[in-house]
Structure 1
Amino acid sequence: MQGKDFSSRTCKGRLKFRTMLKSFITAVILVLVTLFYSSIRLSTVKTVSKIKSVVTDVLNRGLDVNHWLDEYVTNSTVFQTSGSFEPSPISYSATGFDEKQNARDKLEVSVPQTSMAPGKLEPIQLNVTAHIKLFTVDLNSKRAKTKSTELLRIESLKINKHSIAKDGLPINTNVRKNECDNCFNHYFDYVIQNEHICDTAENRGKIDLLICVTTIHKNAFIRQTLRRTWLSYTKNNTANVRHVFLLGQTANYRLQEFVMRENEIYHDIVQETFIDSYHNLTYKTIMGFKWASTKCPNAKFVMKTDDDVWVNVPSLMKLLSGSDMTKYLQTGLTGSCSQNEPPIRDKTSKWYASLISYPDKFYPDFCSGTGYVTSINVVSDIYHVSPHVPFFHLEDVYVGLCARKLGFSLKSNEGFRAERHKTYHCDYKMDHVLTVHQVTPSVLTVIWTKPCSKVAVQR
């Protein structure tokens, strides 16, 4: 009996121990699972918090989102070229060009690697402010504080049902007016001026054409491709055709340093102290008109275009040599022009315009900013009338508004192609083709380097 009782107690003890062990293991597993999910939730909260801080930083600093990302996220790709800036391999016999080209050949300016430690590059203190309605943004501060999160001069006012007229347009007194009295003054300082681009020798006469190209800081490789292809007609700004690249300001010190070094070689950049962003293209265009009318008044004609456009310079010069076109452009513009174009009210569109920023049902006649041509007289008149035309963020529409106020006309020309065209490379060189939009550097190189017969170009 005692042996049986002992055996029974032993079995019960083992069962109790196993039960306790299972309970302990289960508890440990539950604790581990709880800790695992807690760490995931904590990581998620930190991620969300990081995203919120990123968005807040972008809004508070008042910078263009793409440029902010360049500074903090994509520094390894902001400068799409390696080694040193190389001058154009194309040579000309003009003495002025040869002298400048020889000087450039002696320069060996290396581009610093973007992966270097931040301390390797001295930060540049820029005396820069972005002029915004009722307040300014100091770009030298680590995190600029503003009285509003609105970057641009587009009003973001709430409209209630009592402020809407029967035709659907707002009757708020703060909506954009068609004209004003000195409400849009271009009060910005030059960072890079290059006032000698349009200097000419006494025996060379006037400049036939000045080409103003809007660009952004990180597009150095694209600018270099343009210099090697269709901008080579300017012969490094010694020919009867001249060019200039237009830039605003950035708070990215590395990008600014690259631009300064690039300009030391080519001396073809103009930059002012407004914030460079897509919605500030109007500032950039007016800067170009200001510079052209004050620093290049000896130019006969002025072209405004973008850095993703192919320009057929020989065909363009043929167009401008006609007496009828010369006369017309004294009070008009030509390009890919639109009439009775309604504003786009879709908020997801790149070209969205709110009822507050533009209350009218139709835009004035305007020429696409991808490429249009006019005379230096028209450019000067538009610059001088711009203080009395309220700001609008679509720069080609804004130029159209100024032209309408001045009573200037616009003439559309099918040779200016604002849309992308995938065609045979020789088609770009045909006489009736003046500009083609959305052309990549690789395509530009193919167009420029592959030979075409005269028949192919003239057909």
Structure 2
Amino acid sequence: MTLTTTYPSARRAYRYKLFHSQTGNARTNNMIWFFRRVISIPQAFILLGALSMVIYFSKYNAVDPNIPVIQVPEVKNVSQVTPHTPASSQVQTNHVQVMERCEANTSMTSVTDFASLPSPIKNFLLYRHCRHYPMLLDLPGKCGGMEKSNKVFLLLVIKSSPNNYDRREVLRKTWAKERMYRGVWIRRVFILGSSSDGHEKEKLNKLLQVEQEEFSDILQWDFHDTFHNLTLKQTLFLEWVKGNCPNVRFLFNGDDDVYANTDNMVEYLQSLEDNDGSKHLFTGYLFINEKVVRWSKSKYFIPVVIQETNTYPPYCGGGGYLLSGYTALVIYKMSLNITIHPIDDAYMGMCLEKAGLEPSSHIGVKTLGLNIPSKEQDALEPCYLRQLLLVHRFLPPEMYLMWKQVNDPRLDCSPSYKLK
């Protein structure tokens, strides 16, 4: 499936990435070719003279006061932190919060068979105790402040990674638009960590800062954004909710590669009897008696040192689920006394179990794909997608095309299109 639509900002990002992916020698050779084949000797002297004047005058007049400048903060290499700074006292600034680094727990190296564990699991165990990290990008006024946060009916919480600019760009223009629907507000945040240390991290963080200047929808913390740190990302976000958006009615929590129907979400949530977000709700694709994976080659491998029991409590798949603001705060409270687990959706189930609450199943959530009644019908048939809350997972071009088709006013769906 090919999509020809390309957004200007996406093209700019692609050109930037393409240029910086070249080696220094490649860029130098291209410049030499340009001077040899395009510019004559007299033109070269004129060009060099002009460049000299630009350099000379820029030395004494570096900034034109009539030209707006985007201030990009210096990114410091601060990654882990022990002291807890209450979210209510944190203020959005243009500088990274300077906090004491949280050191590795080297005692974990003495656990049985530590040396034979996969590297991601080793790193997880060494830094499992680190729960608080500095914020790089904050949005303290996203919900209108603590007192007005009840005006936000549905907060879209989308798990993303620093590199996934193309996914975020498509979602902003499709199902994750901030808007009012049926008299209630839908808001959006992307939650991110950072890439690995070094030049790549600094470059991506500066690009994210520019992205934030334009869209104001990114929450970023200074921890390494990996699969095994998804639970950490969730707990940091829940802490942010408690301090900045405590009265939000409902939240959608999902990945940046799911197709979601936020119209259907609002309609479903408004149809709930006697629940305006102040009571328990946690619904999605339900897993019951799910076995813990012990095969060390699996992405979902969990050794006994992390979890001794062989089954997880009931939980909803992390591709996407809906929860009430009440339940979000309960999960945060429970998480303070539950050790971090690498599988974030299973960890949500652990928090619910500790609180004596249960997740529920919703037929419109398809994190494992669609169950189409006939093999002759397309799995991406818009008449099926129109009935869903979400389906997982898709590439950005597929996402955009599906959204356009589902929202086409000319789409006519017969009663035969029913999901199982």
**What TM-score, normalized to structure 1?**
0.61
Q: What aligned pairs does 1:20-169 form with structure 2 within 5 A after superposition?
A: 84=9, 112-116=16-20, 124-130=74-80, 157-158=111-112
Task: Identify the residue that residue 440 of structure 1 maps to in structure 2.
Answer: 395
Instruction: Provide Cα deviations, 1:62-87, integer angstroms capped at 9, x if missing partner.
Output: xxxxxxxxxxxxxxxxxxx885369x
Instruction: Provide Cα deviations, 1:315-359, integer angstroms capped at 9, x if missing partner.
Output: 111110123383798224110111111101111111111111111
For structure 1, which runs of at least 5 residues remain unmatched after alignment?
1-80, 87-107, 133-143, 161-175, 177-182
Task: Identify the residue that residue 307 of structure 2 maps to in structure 1.
Answer: 358
Tell me the SS of whatever aligns to 1:84.
Answer: helix
CA distance in 2, matches of 1:275, 1:403: 26
Tell me the SS of whatever aligns to 2:300.
Answer: coil
Tell me the SS of whatever aligns to 2:349.
Answer: helix
Q: CA deviation at 1:385?
A: 2.1
Task: Identify the residue that residue 318 of structure 2 maps to in structure 1.
Answer: 369
Task: Identify the residue that residue 272 of structure 2 maps to in structure 1.
Answer: 323
Equivalent residues of 1:304, 1:371 under 8 A apart: yes
CA distance in 1, matches of 2:285, 2:262: 16
Question: Are residue 455 (structure 1) and residue 410 (structure 2) matched?
Answer: no
Aligned residues between the structures: 319
Give the residue type in structure 2 aligned to 1:213. I
Q: What aligned pairs does 1:286-297 form with structure 2 within 5 A after superposition?
A: 286-297=235-246
For structure 2, which runs of at least 5 residues remain unmatched after alignment?
1-5, 28-71, 83-100, 115-124, 371-377
Equivalent residues of 1:303, 1:373 under 8 A apart: yes
Tell me the SS of whatever aligns to 2:331.
Answer: helix
Q: CA deviation at 1:124?
A: 4.4
Q: What aligned pairs does 1:233-248 form with structure 2 within 5 A after superposition?
A: 233-234=178-179, 240-248=185-193
Task: Identify the residue that residue 151 of structure 2 maps to in structure 1.
Answer: 206
How has the CA–CA distance of structure 1 residues 282 and 351 changed in structure 2, closer, same or farther, with 3 Å as cutoff? same
How has the CA–CA distance of structure 1 residues 212 and 154 changed in structure 2, closer, same or farther, with 3 Å as cutoff? farther
CA-based RMSD of the aligned residues comes to 3.8
CA distance in 2, matches of 1:327, 1:155: 48
Give the residue type in structure 2 aligned to 1:455. C
How has the CA–CA distance of structure 1 residues 227 and 154 changed in structure 2, closer, same or farther, with 3 Å as cutoff? farther
CA distance in 1, matches of 2:384, 2:278: 24
Tell me the SS of whatever aligns to 2:275.
Answer: helix
Equivalent residues of 1:417, 1:437 under 8 A apart: yes
Q: CA deviation at 1:390?
A: 0.8
Instruction: Provide Cα deviations, 1:371-405, integer angstroms capped at 9, x if missing partner.
Output: 11111111112112212001100000111111111
Tell me the SS of whatever aligns to 1:303.
Answer: strand
Identity rate, percent: 25
CA distance in 2, matches of 1:316, 1:338: 21
CA distance in 2, matches of 1:285, 1:203: 23
Equivalent residues of 1:426, 1:456 under 8 A apart: no
User: Of the two, which has the highest radius of gyration?
Assistant: 1
Instruction: Provide Cα deviations, 1:200-259, integer angstroms capped at 9, x if missing partner.
Output: 8x9997211111000011110110000111112537xx9701110000122322111111
Question: Are residue 430 (structure 1) and residue 372 (structure 2) matched?
Answer: no
Q: CA deviation at 1:303?
A: 1.2
Tell me the SS of whatever aligns to 1:377.
Answer: helix
Q: Which structure has greater helix proportion?
A: 1
Question: Are residue 418 (structure 1) and residue 322 (structure 2) matched?
Answer: no
Task: Identify the residue that residue 305 of structure 1 maps to in structure 2.
Answer: 254
Task: Identify the residue that residue 92 of structure 2 maps to in structure 1.
Answer: none
Give the residue type in structure 1 aligned to 2:312. Y
Equivalent residues of 2:238, 2:328 under 8 A apart: yes
Runs of 4+ in 1 over 4 A off after TM superposition: 108-111, 116-120, 153-156, 202-205, 456-459
**What TM-score, normalized to structure 2?**
0.66
CA distance in 2, matches of 1:217, 1:329: 33
Tell me the SS of whatever aligns to 2:249.
Answer: strand
How has the CA–CA distance of structure 1 residues 351 and 111 changed in structure 2, closer, same or farther, with 3 Å as cutoff? same
CA distance in 2, matches of 1:447, 1:270: 27
Instruction: Provide Cα deviations, 1:45-78, integer angstroms capped at 9, x if missing partner.
Output: xxxxxxxxxxxxxxxxxxxxxxxxxxxxxxxxxx
Q: What aligned pairs does 1:391-402 form with structure 2 within 5 A after superposition?
A: 391-402=340-351
CA distance in 2, matches of 1:323, 1:382: 21
Q: CA deviation at 1:112?
A: 3.9
Task: Identify the residue that residue 165 of structure 2 maps to in structure 1.
Answer: 220
Instruction: Provide Cα deviations, 1:153-206, integer angstroms capped at 9, x if missing partner.
Output: 98783259xxxxxxxxxxxxxxx9xxxxxx967322211111122128x99972
Equivalent residues of 2:254, 2:321 under 8 A apart: yes
How has the CA–CA distance of structure 1 residues 358 and 448 changed in structure 2, closer, same or farther, with 3 Å as cutoff? same
Equivalent residues of 2:179, 2:185 under 8 A apart: yes
Question: Are residue 389 (structure 1) and residue 338 (structure 2) matched?
Answer: yes
CA distance in 2, matches of 1:154, 1:311: 41
